[in-house]
Chains A and B, each alone.
Chain A
Amino acid sequence: MSATEQALATGDAVPLSLRGPASTGVVAGYGFWLFLLSDIVIFAALFASYAVLSGETAGGPTAAALFDKKHVLIETACLLASSVTCGFGSLAVQSGEKGSTYFWMTVTFILGVAFLSLEVSEFSHMLGMGAGPSRSAFLSAFFTLVGTHGLHVTLGLCWLIVMLLQVATLGFQPMVSRRFFCFGLFWHALDIVWIGVFTIVYLGAHL
């Protein structure tokens, strides 16, 4: 037995070059992680444009006059709670429990819908008082940044429905678990972006 074969047999100290390709789970997770980071770079560009334009109100309503802190606190609570229930759901997927997967992921979905409806009501209220995206550069930047986040949440909810249907029809096949796992990463990343949104847009408005 050669030294290499011995090392492979004991499993210890196998050189990286001899370990072969990583498993599909690792490759998929890492690839999705890279996608999430590039998505966060998109948000960084939108944050930068908001930071530059937040003072350019063109005589229209200012940030301090438009945003209600209590509303934002409820939105934040919904998203944070949905992040945790999504984590519980991912644990249920890992251990293959169908019932608790459905339960936690449905709770996640409901909290996500609650967040979205709060955001839509805020947007329609603003549009109703003439503070739409065409009013000033500040409002264009605001609707682009917060709207892009809301669009991500909407797509995440659609994805969640598809995943629940896949669990119902295909069961916990490795491919379904992998996709569910990526969904969890996506949902947690959206919550991280929301921290930036409520700090810079909503709390920054009242300084």
Chain B
Amino acid sequence: MSAEIEAQGKAPGVNVHTHGSRGSYLIGLGYAILLTLASFWASSTDVIYPHGVPILLGVLAIAQMGIHLVFFLHISSAPDQTNNILALVFGIFVVGLLVFGSMIIMAHLNHNMMPMDRLMQMQR
């Protein structure tokens, strides 16, 4: 990358520090394999307290997404990546609102809904 680009921030995915090397992809691959196998193991094991498994799966998935962002997309907290990080944070915020908001609202509605047979009786 030229000095000009360095001075104006970086696009995501531009791998400057290990330019031309495969190291970062291989490290990322190692971590990703480890985390994938861990989540497949966690979903079928009896060792872990059953109610804890969904939380563990969530943690493993988020960790693997982080690994992919850092080692494959080369997102970092460097000052020239501020724009990319800000956009990413906003994206995560919207995703969180959408997913958890929908789940909370629908669970709440489901909870407050009259049982279907009662509803049918009233319509008669």
Contact = CB atoms under 8 A, between A and B. Distances in A.
Interface residues of A, number: 51
A45 interface: yes
11 contacts: A23-B4, A29-B14, A30-B9, A30-B12, A33-B11, A52-B102, A84-B28, A188-B13, A192-B68, A203-B40, A206-B43
Nearest to B72: A188
A191 B60 contact: no
Interface of A is mostly: helix
Interface residues of B, number: 55
Interface of B: 2-5, 7-15, 19-22, 25-26, 28-29, 32-33, 36, 39-40, 43-44, 50, 53-54, 57-58, 60-61, 64-65, 68-69, 72-73, 83-84, 87-88, 90-91, 94-95, 98-99, 101-103, 106
Nearest to B40: A73
A73 B4 CA distance: 44
A204 B58 CA distance: 10
Interface of A: 11, 14, 19, 22-23, 25-26, 28-30, 33-34, 37-38, 40-41, 44-45, 47-49, 51-52, 69, 73, 76, 80, 83-84, 87-88, 90-91, 94-95, 181, 184-185, 188-189, 191-192, 195-196, 198-200, 203-204, 206-207
